[in-house]
C-alpha cells in the first residue's frame, strides 16, 4: 500500500510542477513541459481565448484561427511575413497549460496580402518622413559645431604663436577640427535618440584604428620622427651634412622627409624616420675643419728631418691655421718607404677644405724634394733561371751603361718650390650653397619648412 501511495504522489507531483520554459527557444516549452494526467473541461477554452486575445492585439495575426483540444493548440490561417509563422508558435507556446502546438500557418501570397505589405512599407516611409524635421535639426547642430571648430582652427596665427614651431601648430589645428567634428556627431546622435549607436561606432573605430596602426607603423613612425626633428633642430638650412652616407647641403625639412642637394647638384629625399635614427655628420656647425694626408720618403732618408721640413711648409701656407697648429707623425716603415702623416686645419668660412688639402699636398711634396728627399719608387726583385741562355755581349754592355746612367740620374738636382704657390686661390666653393639658397627663395611660403632659425639648435 505504501508503495502504491508513493507512485500516486509522484504522478501528482509531475502534474503540478511542469518544466520551466527555456528563454533561448520560446516555442520549445510546450514540447518539453511535463504533461499532466488530466485536462479540465474549461482549460482548453481558457487557453484558446487567451491566445486569441493576444493575437487580436497584433495586426499580423488578424487572419489566424486558434483551436485547442486537450491542450493541443492548432494554428491555421495566413500571416503576411514568413517570420510571423514562428513568432505565432512562440507566443502560443508560452501560454500555461499548452501541451504542444500544431502550426499550420502559411504566408499570405494573395493580392490582398501583397497590398498589406505595401501598406506596411508605406507606414515605414511615413515614419521616416515624420523623423525628417528631427533629422534636419540634428544635421544642422552637427554642421554648426563643426563649422565653429573650423573657424577656431582657422586662426592659424594665434596657434603658431602659442606653439614652438609650425609642425606643432598644424597638429594642434588638426586636433581642434577633429574634436569639434566628433562633438557635432555626438550631439546629432543624442538629438536622434541614438546615443547607444555612438558606443558601437567608437568601439569599431578603435578596432579599426589599432589595425591601421599596425598596418601603417612605418608611416606613424615617420610622422613622430618629423615632430621630434622639428623640435630638436639638428641642422640648419644649407648646412653641409652627411646622413646615412649621403653627403650634401640641407634644402628643407618637411613633415615626411629631409631633402638634400648633393655636391653633384642632385636632390636626395631621406625619410625622417631614417634621419632621426641616423648618425649625422655636420661640417658647417664648426667652421674649423682638419684635413690629413700621407707622403712617403725613401727608406734611407731621415724621417725626423723630413717631418720638420713638411711641417714648416704647412706653417708657411696662409690658409692653414696656426691655432690649432699643424701636426705630423711618422706613420710606418714599409718595405721601400717611410710614410709620414700630416694634419692641418682650415677655416671653412675663408678657405675651401678640398682646395686647401690638395694644395697642401703639392707644397709639402715640393718642399721635401727641394730638401733632397727622394720620394720612393717601387722596387722589384728579379730572379733568373740558370737554364736561361746568356745575353749577347752588346746587351750586357748596354745594361751596364743603363745602370751607370741611372746612378747619375739619381743625383739630379731637386726642383725648387713653385714661385707664388702659396698665393693660390683657395676661396670656399659656394656654387652648391648658392643653388640651395635660390631654390629655397623660389619655393618661399609654398613649401612648409620645419627648420626654424629662431629655435635653438640641438
Tell me, what's the pLDDT at 2? 41
In a domain, 397, yes or no: no
Whether residues 123 and 209 share a domain: the answer is yes
Whether residues 187 and 314 share a domain: the answer is no
- 216 contacts: CB under 8 Å, gap ≥ 6: none
In a domain, 149, yes or no: yes
Strand-pairing partners, residue 205, are none
Domain boundary among 215, 245, 268: 215
For 223-322, strand residue ranges (E) read 240-243, 246-253, 257-262, 267-271, 280-282, 288-298
pTM, entire model: 0.55
Distance, CA of 189 to CA of 177 (rounded, Å): 19
Q: Cα separations (Å) of 251 from 78, 229, 237? A: 80, 15, 6
Tell me, what's the pLDDT at 259? 93
In a domain, 84, yes or no: yes
Whether residues 329 and 278 share a domain: the answer is no
Tell me, what's the pLDDT at 13? 38
In the chain, the number of structural domains is 4
What is the domain-level CATH number for residue 45? 3.30.1340.30
Whether residues 132 and 204 share a domain: the answer is yes
Whether residues 247 and 305 share a domain: the answer is no
Whether residues 199 and 67 share a domain: the answer is no
In a domain, 177, yes or no: yes
Mind giving me the DSSP string for 410-444?
Answer: HTPPPPPPPTTGGG---PPP-HHHHHHHHHHHHHG
Tell me, what's the pLDDT at 445? 61
List the domain range (segments joined by +) for residue 179: 116-215
Whether residues 173 and 190 share a domain: the answer is yes
Mind giving me the DSSP string for 84-137?
Answer: HHHHHHHHHHTSTT--EEEEEEEE--SHHHHHHHHHHHHHHHHHHHHHHHHHHH
pLDDT in tens, the chain (458 residues): 344 444 333 444 333 334 444 444 444 444 555 666 566 667 888 888 888 889 888 888 888 898 888 888 899 988 888 888 888 888 988 888 888 898 888 887 765 555 555 666 776 777 777 778 888 888 888 889 888 888 887 776 676 667 666 667 777 777 788 888 888 888 888 887 776 666 666 676 677 767 666 666 777 788 888 888 888 889 999 999 999 889 999 999 988 899 999 999 999 999 999 999 999 999 999 999 999 999 999 888 899 999 999 999 999 999 999 999 999 999 988 778 899 999 999 999 999 999 999 999 999 999 999 998 888 776 666 777 666 555 555 544 554 455 444 444 444 444 444 544 445 778 888 899 999 989 888 877 666 788 877 777 77
Q: What is the pLDDT of residues 144-201, one digit of tens each?
A: 988 888 888 777 667 666 766 666 777 777 778 888 888 888 888 888 777 666 666 6
Whether residues 277 and 189 share a domain: the answer is no
Whether residues 272 and 293 share a domain: the answer is no
In a domain, 50, yes or no: yes
In a domain, 172, yes or no: yes
Whether residues 331 and 423 share a domain: the answer is yes
Termini Cα distance of the chain? 104
Whether residues 321 and 422 share a domain: the answer is yes
In a domain, 395, yes or no: no
Distance, CA of 273 to CA of 264 (rounded, Å): 25
Tell me, what's the pLDDT at 69? 84
3-state secondary structure of 54: helix
Tell me, what's the pLDDT at 55? 87
Whether residues 204 and 243 share a domain: the answer is no
CB 117 within 8 A of CB 80: yes
CB 278 within 8 A of CB 231: no
Give CB contacts under 8 A, 24+ apart, made by 43-52.
43/71, 43/97, 44/68, 44/69, 44/70, 44/71, 46/97, 47/71, 47/73, 47/95, 47/97, 47/98, 48/73, 50/95, 51/91, 51/92, 51/95
Amino acid at each position: 500500500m505504501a508503495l502504491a501511495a508513493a507512485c500516486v504522489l509522484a504522478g501528482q507531483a509531475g502534474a503540478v510542477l511542469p518544466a520551466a520554459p527555456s528563454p533561448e527557444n520560446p516555442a520549445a516549452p510546450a514540447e518539453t513541459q511535463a504533461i499532466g494526467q488530466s485536462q479540465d473541461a474549461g482549460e482548453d477554452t481558457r487557453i484558446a481565448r487567451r491566445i486569441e486575445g493576444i493575437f487580436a492585439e497584433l495586426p499580423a495575426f488578424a487572419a489566424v484561427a486558434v483551436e485547442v483540444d486537450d491542450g493541443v493548440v492548432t494554428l491555421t490561417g495566413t500571416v503576411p511575413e514568413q517570420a510571423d509563422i514562428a513568432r505565432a508558435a512562440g507566443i502560443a507556446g508560452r501560454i500555461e497549460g499548452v501541451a504542444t502546438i500544431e502550426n499550420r500557418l502559411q504566408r499570405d501570397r494573395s493580392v490582398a496580402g501583397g497590398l498589406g505589405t505595401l501598406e506596411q512599407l508605406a507606414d515605414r516611409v511615413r515614419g521616416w518622413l515624420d523623423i525628417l524635421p528631427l533629422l534636419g535639426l540634428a544635421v544642422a547642430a552637427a554642421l554648426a559645431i563643426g563649422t565653429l571648430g573650423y573657424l577656431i582652427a582657422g586662426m592659424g596665427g594665434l596657434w603658431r604663436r602659442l606653439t614652438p614651431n609650425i609642425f606643432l601648430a598644424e597638429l594642434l589645428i588638426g586636433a581642434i577640427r577633429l574634436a569639434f567634428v566628433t562633438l557635432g556627431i555626438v550631439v546629432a546622435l543624442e538629438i536622434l535618440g541614438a546615443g547607444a549607436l555612438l558606443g558601437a561606432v567608437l568601439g569599431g573605430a578603435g578596432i579599426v584604428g589599432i589595425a591601421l596602426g599596425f598596418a601603417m607603423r612605418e608611416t606613424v613612425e615617420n610622422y613622430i620622427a618629423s615632430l621630434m626633428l622639428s623640435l630638436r633642430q639638428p641642422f640648419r638650412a644649407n648646412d653641409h651634412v652627411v646622413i646615412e652616407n649621403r653627403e650634401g647641403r640641407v634644402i628643407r625639412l618637411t613633415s615626411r622627409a629631409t631633402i638634400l642637394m648633393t655636391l653633384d647638384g642632385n636632390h636626395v629625399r631621406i625619410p625622417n624616420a631614417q634621419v632621426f635614427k641616423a648618425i649625422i655628420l655636420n661640417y658647417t656647425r664648426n667652421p674649423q675643419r682638419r684635413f690629413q694626408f700621407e707622403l712617403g720618403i725613401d727608406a734611407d732618408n731621415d724621417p725626423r728631418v723630413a717631418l720638420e721640413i713638411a711641417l714648416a711648409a704647412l706653417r708657411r701656407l696662409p690658409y692653414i691655421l696656426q691655432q690649432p697648429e699643424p701636426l705630423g707623425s711618422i706613420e710606418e716603415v714599409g718595405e721601400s718607404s717611410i710614410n709620414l702623416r700630416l694634419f692641418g686645419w682650415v677655416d671653412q668660412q675663408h678657405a675651401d677644405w678640398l682646395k686647401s688639402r690638395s694644395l697642401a699636398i703639392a707644397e709639402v711634396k715640393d718642399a721635401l724634394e727641394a730638401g733632397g728627399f727622394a720620394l720612393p719608387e717601387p722596387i722589384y726583385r728579379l730572379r733568373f733561371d740558370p737554364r736561361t741562355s746568356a745575353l749577347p755581349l752588346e746587351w750586357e754592355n748596354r745594361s751596364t751603361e743603363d745602370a751607370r746612367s741611372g746612378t747619375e740620374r739619381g743625383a739630379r738636382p731637386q726642383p725648387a718650390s713653385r714661385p707664388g704657390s702659396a698665393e693660390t686661390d683657395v676661396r670656399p666653393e659656394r656654387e652648391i650653397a648658392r643653388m640651395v639658397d635660390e631654390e629655397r627663395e623660389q619655393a618661399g611660403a609654398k613649401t612648409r619648412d620645419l627648420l626654424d632659425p629662431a629655435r635653438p639648435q640641438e
